[in-house]
Structure 1
Amino acid sequence: MHIIKTALLSYGMSGNVFHAPFIDLHPAFELTGSWERSKKLIQNDYPLVKSYPSLESILEDNDVELVVVNTPTGTHYDFTKKVLEAGKHAVVEKAFTITAAEAEELEKLAKEKGLKLAVFQNRRWDSDFKTVKKIIDSDILGEIVEVTFSYEAYLPALNTKAHLEEPSPAAGLIRDRGPHMIDQALFLFGYPKAIFADLAIMRTNSRVNDYFELILYYNDKRVRLKGGFLAREMAPSYIVHGKKGSFLKNRADQQEDRLLAGEKPNNTDWCAEPEKEWGVLHAEKDGKEFTEKIPSEKGNYLDFYEGVYQAIVNDSSEPVTATEGVQTMKIIEAALKSAKDGQIVKL
């Protein structure tokens, strides 16, 4: 078996929760270590790995084949470019870059060097989204006409991470949670013909956008994406209406909470949703109307890394391609323009 030796560029929450456990679990990956600037923590969890003192020390390590760029968004372009120029494959956290032009340049560079470049849109492998996709793909709802995806919480206090709250081209909820929802919409429905966006600051003393609503225009449907931090009581996170029925589903994937609690993923019984979180399908079949609860699919971020493995070893497409990452960045840029001008932006 080809073993892909992999290094992280950070071992904060992202590295500790979303990457290292799945790299360690997958038999075709070997975690070599992480760049750690001040706190040296990775060896507490993985004693046999390295704590790299610099990015250069990772790039100079000939054993490292894949680098996970999981640092703040503002660093993604520079760090990923250096990784690719060093001849190593890359996985890049969302948001992919700050601008679409940066994303396109990285995509071009990876192709020129024959390297794999994947964007870590892990929410495609959440149980709730997988369930929504299964329902849509089944055609039980008929032609889809109206969709609302929301990613809301009640978090009125400002985040203690300065890079998330200080005004910068990389800050704001549209760049934090927006990429997840935009990616999900494009994955299901393709690229829209136009977009309208409303961005706002709602929390006391906030200096960056912490509310957004996007409308994606398609010839035959409208897709609304919403995010905010002041929803103490939340509506269903996924509302899908078709000409034959509707499906409502809460955002209830268990993976992040269990990983934050220190659980390690496994291949057998990882994060099934409880029955109380199952979605509601209201549709008709053979001319008869019915309502029923739909068991949730199982989510597993390991499937993302299986896709990365297949891409590197068998030259298949990345699980989330750089092209898809570019499209998400173009939507974000169009949303910023729409919100500034107060107009629909054609794509």
Structure 2
Amino acid sequence: MTLPIHVALIGYGMAGQVFHAPVIQAVPGLRLVTIQSSQPLKVQADWPQVWISTTFEEVIQTPQIDLVVIATPNHTHFELAWRALEAGKHVVVDKPFTLLAQEARALAELAQMQNRLLSVFQNRRWDGNFLSLQRMLEAGTLGEVVYFESHFDRYRPAVQPRWREQAGPGSGIWYDLGPHLADQAQLLFGWPQAVFADIAPQRLGAEAPDYFHVLLRYPRLRVVLHASALVPGGSPRFVVHGTQGSWVCYGLDTQEKSLREGSHPGGPNWRPVGGEAWLYRPGQPSELVDVEPGDYRRYYAGVRDAIWEKGPNPVPPEQAVRLMELLEAAIQSAAERREISLGVEE
């Protein structure tokens, strides 16, 4: 009989409260036993059964803790992950993995030395619309894909007093939403030849970037990653054009909305919707196609199985390192206003 994995969640801001805690608790074999937070009353109200810790050192020195989940501000990820791995814990880090690619590589090497699982919470791999897109491309329905556009647009015209929107290391929309879109693109199409990025603040009073438009160049394929905080509506989530057809999907996966509203995965009100998708093929009428429901629990189920040595790491360090290299190259491109070659033969 396999023993349950005791989990400590570090941080109880939006990421910890909305995503990690309810999803961890919904996965059999994982047991959320500790939350370290500067807001103990908030944690106690939501999770009265867990031990509330006030120091990270206390958590990593507790022998009963198997897995440490880091859901803290981005600039703290590297140090906390390093300390947890040194203490012999398995580690999950919320995206972005780190701020620098060299930090990501150092953590990957340490995890290998310590023989511990290190993974990054790329939950959008388990959005229903993305899962449906993967299935469509694997089936070859569109032929060779020559253009891919991925949007994550929202309408949030007022700058909020939170660290993600203030000036500082790791803030801004490229570190917030860029890891999702770039990770999905890499998963589908691999490493591009070059990147050209425009990353900027657009809202009045913005201190951190709230807009990006990034072009990934492949031999024939062109990939556009786009996000903005000033889009009242009308943008598709995905646009895919191939030599035999097009696929267009509207709407965000509703898992985040349900989690924000307090629904728990697998609960009575848990009915995620992945969006609305249309298939267009030459000489045929447009076709409304099914979009499967997403399931963020599949990420943590994969982490559980990897720790139990029953399956692969769902987001292994080598993928997370490569993603940080791409994010870093895009920042360089935006700063220098030029295309950055990524070392692939033209």
In which range does the TM-score fall when normalised by the shorter chain? over 0.9
Give 1:214's aligned residue: 214
Give 1:165's aligned residue: 165
Indicate conservation of the 8 Å contact 2:149/2:223, yes or no.
yes
1:283 equivalent to 2:281? Answer yes
Count, aligned residues:
341
1:122: how far off? 0.4
Give 2:309's aligned residue: 314
1:255: how far off? 0.9
| Counterpart code for 1:167 | A
Indicate conservation of the 8 Å contact 1:127/1:252, yes or no.
no
Give 1:261's aligned residue: 261
Q: Distance in 1 between matches of 2:46 and 2:230?
A: 35
* Greater mean deviation of Cα atoms: 249-258 or 292-301: 249-258
Give 1:89's aligned residue: 90
| Counterpart code for 2:169 | P
Q: TM-score, normalised by structure 1?
A: 0.95
Residue-by-residue CA offset, 1:279-328 (whole Å, 9 max, x unaligned): 000125xxx52421111111011000111011110164311111111111
* Greater mean deviation of Cα atoms: 295-304 or 40-49: 40-49
Give 2:251's aligned residue: 251
1:35 equivalent to 2:36? Answer yes
Indicate conservation of the 8 Å contact 2:34/2:50, yes or no.
yes
Indicate conservation of the 8 Å contact 1:153/1:234, yes or no.
no
How many percent of aligned residue pairs carry the same amino acid? 36
SS class of match (2:134): helix
1:234: how far off? 2.6
Q: Distance in 2 between matches of 1:49 and 1:190?
A: 41
Structure 1 alignment gaps of length 5 or more = none
1:136 equivalent to 2:131? Answer no
Indicate conservation of the 8 Å contact 1:67/1:88, yes or no.
yes
1:269: how far off? 8.0
Q: Distance in 2 between matches of 1:79 and 1:272?
A: 33
1:260: how far off? 1.1
Q: Distance in 1 between matches of 2:139 and 2:160?
A: 40
Q: Distance in 1 between matches of 2:204 and 2:48?
A: 43
* Greater mean deviation of Cα atoms: 197-206 or 17-26: 17-26
Give the aligned CA root-mean-square deviation in angstroms. 1.6
Indicate conservation of the 8 Å contact 2:12/2:39, yes or no.
no
1:85: how far off? 0.3
Indicate conservation of the 8 Å contact 1:199/1:211, yes or no.
yes
Q: Distance in 1 between matches of 2:160 and 2:40?
A: 20
1:46: how far off? 2.4
Indicate conservation of the 8 Å contact 1:271/1:299, yes or no.
no
Indicate conservation of the 8 Å contact 2:6/2:33, yes or no.
yes
Indicate conservation of the 8 Å contact 2:277/2:291, yes or no.
yes
Give 2:24's aligned residue: 23
Go from structure 1 to structure 2 and tell me whether the alpha carbon gap of 1:268 and 1:233 turns closer, same or farther (over 3 Å shift): closer
1:165: how far off? 2.4
Indicate conservation of the 8 Å contact 2:251/2:276, yes or no.
no
Q: Distance in 1 between matches of 2:9 and 2:335?
A: 36
Q: Distance in 2 between matches of 1:311 and 1:299?
A: 21
Q: TM-score, normalised by structure 2?
A: 0.95
* Greater mean deviation of Cα atoms: 11-20 or 57-66: 11-20
Residues 30-179 of structure 1 correspond to what in structure 2 (within 5 A)? 30-161=31-162, 163-179=163-179
1:328 equivalent to 2:323? Answer yes
Indicate conservation of the 8 Å contact 1:238/1:251, yes or no.
no
Give 2:291's aligned residue: 296
| Counterpart code for 1:155 | R
| Counterpart code for 1:326 | V
SS class of match (1:133): helix
| Counterpart code for 2:210 | D
Q: Distance in 2 between matches of 1:318 and 1:186?
A: 17
Residue-by-residue CA offset, 1:183-232 (whole Å, 9 max, x unaligned): 01001111111100111211001121111111101112000000111111
Give 2:241's aligned residue: 241
Indicate conservation of the 8 Å contact 2:128/2:294, yes or no.
yes
Indicate conservation of the 8 Å contact 1:153/1:231, yes or no.
yes
Indicate conservation of the 8 Å contact 1:272/1:296, yes or no.
no
